[in-house]
A and B are shown apart, each in its own frame.
Chain A
């Protein structure tokens, strides 16, 4: 048993290494193939485009993150502090925007605000008003910022809310007793306390924006992701693409480092574990209605309008013959997403636990490194994955195993790529779950004779159950919404709901995207709902777990 601490034989370290290797391999293959000689194209890009790329990327990311936080933080604050009318439904509904892929939202709003869209058509039909006569036109950049803000704010909302739920009531009561008003206690006391969790949510939003392709390409905004893509696959200039990828990775690592720094320097340990939790109180009627109004307004733009538009398209395009095909597409993506999510979560749980059991600097750094899949453009990752699997397949053939990864016929490649891409989300979810539970239960179990694995399965896993579930749901929903990897890596005759939406949108037949888009949103929403029900019933039946998690 003493030998169980040697690296190779320990299952946790094995999983940890497996994650690291899985994530690195595609990038190694990319690096090998990107080693092309420099060409004059790079001079062109540097001379004419780079400045635009940098400025547009910065502008888009910063404003997107800012607006998303401006929506997410107040929402988290009021749902934790006040029991305003409709709170219980609203609190849950505010997660729903996560079910709506940003690119679908972009298609919808662009159409809606365009000439034939509901907004202008309505004005024309009912008021005889043609707003275009007054130069009505929405520039792409604010439009894209708006789309990202209304679809991505739940990341900030969820993380900040989770933080506030674990704050003690006395903190708020004391600030009030010390003569501070509600506003002042928000800005003076809670905002600094919330800073790490805001940074955490904002980082996720920034990553999503940086790696987006659908929204930016639709609005013709040149970010690094679209630039890398067009340099590589449009101009066949792998060299320039590699240069820009390195720049993007640099930005991503800076961002991640900032986030880490924020977590470390801004984190104030909440001392006692025996405080009463911050429970929502009933506000004055005026404040309550204002809260409800704000939430409904957010829901209107993030969920109600897009879904409403989809249903109105559905009435135009409803066609029963499409159903069997879409049903098949739905089954394709749901089963792949389930398989990939399971892999991702197993890797994530194993990796996090390995870093807890063996918290050496290299182990922690490697685990951090394994999260980069989330921050590179999907198309770039996809190319690395194809190279990797082609290599395996060729190697297999040279050993006489011809059907080893017959890559165009199985979803292996796709599932692998999903796992590499979304490992980061599972990892962070599990990590935050563990950090809430702390080490004490694990240590107690070890002194009672349980080995690391038994300790994990019998003691720690039940305690971080909710974190694992929420990680599972986040990864699953992200895969449902994913587009570039699916488009590039899918096997023969493998269509998903997302690719159907994309095909119709590319053909510019907007009303046909309704059914697949609604199905995506429905599946995601169902998952989110089931997860939150599980969470509620679990916590309600066993309040000790909530206490324990504090």
Chain B
């Protein structure tokens, strides 16, 4: 198993009922797995736990053979090498498209960095607008840039949190295809969370259904 989640429980401080209880599943390398469930069922929380924004109450998360979260073990997000695409994209508003993509590449040398960024810009079909600011982009463009930004540092695992929820229906279909193509081309392991079965069907190879 590339990602292994064992008996994971989590609850926010002021809630009596935990938002996740004893969840276990695994993902193989290169798999694109979707998690479907109504809003409030703890899907986003699961992603936040895997990314390292929250620490689980119980259970453990093992990524590529390394335990990143368990009792007494906590690897901070920046050391997990996990990429994430947020529902609201989270593009840095004070940086251009190129700067956004280059943000995760600071370990690379100048030339390599530029090359990788160009590659990503091309895949995002943004090669003509590298110096635009996020607010100057359409929703679909923002979506693609944020995906490329997450992919640029070659994360071991990519997390997608409702990435299409802000797009209209037509664009959504196109984006689903684009994303699938890109993910397969980059051979990336991916966990995709959505409340919409269609999105997940279009992108994922395996589906886990999460209930309350």
Which chain A residues lie closer than 8 Å to B149 at the CB level? 444, 448
Q: List CB contacts (< 8 Å) of B104-134 with chain A.
A: 104, 106-107, 133-134
- Quick check: A544 and B150 within 8 Å, CB to CB? no
Closest CB in chain A relative to B142 CB, distance in Å: 11
Q: Is A451 at the interface (CB under 8 A from chain B)?
A: yes
- Quick check: B150 and A447 within 8 Å, CB to CB? yes
Q: Mark A413-452, 1 if CB is under 8 A from B, else 0.
A: 0000000000000000000000000001101111111111
Bound complex: CA of A447 vs CA of B155, how far in Å?
Answer: 9
Q: Is B90 at the interface (CB under 8 A from chain A)?
A: yes
Partner of A5, one of B76, B83, B106: B76
- Quick check: B82 and A444 within 8 Å, CB to CB? no
Q: Is A45 at the interface (CB under 8 A from chain B)?
A: no
CB-CB nearest in chain A for B84: A447
Q: Is A1 at the interface (CB under 8 A from chain B)?
A: yes
Q: Is B78 at the interface (CB under 8 A from chain A)?
A: yes
CB-CB nearest in chain B for A549: B93
Which chain A residues lie closer than 8 Å to B133 at the CB level? 542, 544
Q: Is A459 at the interface (CB under 8 A from chain B)?
A: yes
- Quick check: A544 and B94 within 8 Å, CB to CB? yes
Q: Is B81 at the interface (CB under 8 A from chain A)?
A: yes
Which chain B residues lie closer than 8 Å to A548 at the CB level? 92-94, 134-135
- Quick check: A446 and B94 within 8 Å, CB to CB? no
Q: Is B103 at the interface (CB under 8 A from chain A)?
A: yes
Which chain B residues lie closer than 8 Å to A450 at the CB level? 78, 103-104
- Quick check: B107 and A449 within 8 Å, CB to CB? yes
Bound complex: CA of A543 vs CA of B132, how far in Å?
Answer: 12
Q: Is A140 at the interface (CB under 8 A from chain B)?
A: no
- Quick check: B75 and A2 within 8 Å, CB to CB? yes
Closest CB in chain B relative to A463 CB, distance in Å: 6
- Quick check: B78 and A446 within 8 Å, CB to CB? yes
- Quick check: B150 and A448 within 8 Å, CB to CB? yes
A interface majority secondary structure: helix
Q: Is B88 at the interface (CB under 8 A from chain A)?
A: yes
Q: Is B153 at the interface (CB under 8 A from chain A)?
A: yes
Partner of B78, one of A449, A462, A549: A449
- Quick check: B83 and A4 within 8 Å, CB to CB? no
Looking at B90, B134, B150, the one whose CB has the most chain A CB atoms below 10 A away is B90
Asked, given contacts A273-B88, A448-B150, A547-B135, whether A2 binds B93 with beta carbons under 8 Å apart, the answer is no
- Quick check: A443 and B77 within 8 Å, CB to CB? yes
Closest CB in chain B relative to A360 CB, distance in Å: 9
Which chain B residues lie closer than 8 Å to A459 at the CB level? 92, 103
- Quick check: A443 and B90 within 8 Å, CB to CB? yes
Partner of A543, one of B74, B76, B135: B135
Q: Mark B179-207, 1 if CB is under 8 A from A, else 0.
A: 00000000000000000000000000000
Closest CB in chain B relative to A276 CB, distance in Å: 14
Which chain A residues lie closer than 8 Å to B106 at the CB level? 449
Asked, given contacts A440-B86, A441-B92, whether A446 binds B74 with beta carbons under 8 Å apart, the answer is no
Q: Is B175 at the interface (CB under 8 A from chain A)?
A: no
Q: List CB contacts (< 8 Å) of A524-550 with chain B.
A: 542-545, 547-549
Q: List CB contacts (< 8 Å) of B69-102 with chain A.
A: 74-79, 81-84, 86, 88, 90-94
Closest CB in chain A relative to B46 CB, distance in Å: 15
- Quick check: A446 and B53 within 8 Å, CB to CB? yes
- Quick check: B76 and A447 within 8 Å, CB to CB? no
CB-CB nearest in chain A for B83: A447
Q: Mark A1-42, 1 if CB is under 8 A from B, else 0.
A: 110110000000000000000000000000000000000000
Looking at A1, A449, A548, the one whose CB has the most chain B CB atoms below 10 A away is A449
Asked, given contacts A2-B76, A443-B51, A443-B77, whether A448 binds B94 with beta carbons under 8 Å apart, the answer is no
Bound complex: CA of A440 vs CA of B142, how far in Å?
Answer: 15
Asked, given contacts A449-B104, A544-B135, A547-B93, whether A443 binds B76 with beta carbons under 8 Å apart, the answer is no
Partner of B84, one of A2, A444, A463, A545: A444
Bound complex: CA of A544 vs CA of B100, how far in Å?
Answer: 14
Closest CB in chain A relative to B9 CB, distance in Å: 19
- Quick check: B82 and A447 within 8 Å, CB to CB? yes
- Quick check: B94 and A463 within 8 Å, CB to CB? yes
Q: Is B42 at the interface (CB under 8 A from chain A)?
A: no
7 A–B pairs (Cβ distance < 8 Å), ordered by A: A440-B86, A440-B88, A445-B103, A449-B78, A463-B94, A544-B94, A548-B93
Q: Which A residues are within 8 Å of any B CB, using their own CB?
A: 1-2, 4-5, 273, 440-441, 443-452, 455, 458-459, 462-463, 542-545, 547-549
The 4 lowest CB-CB distance pairs between A and B, nearest first, are: A548-B93, A448-B104, A444-B90, A544-B135
A sample of 9 more A-B contacts (CB under 8 A), given A441-B90, A459-B103, A548-B94, is: A2-B76, A443-B90, A444-B84, A444-B91, A446-B51, A450-B103, A542-B94, A543-B135, A544-B93
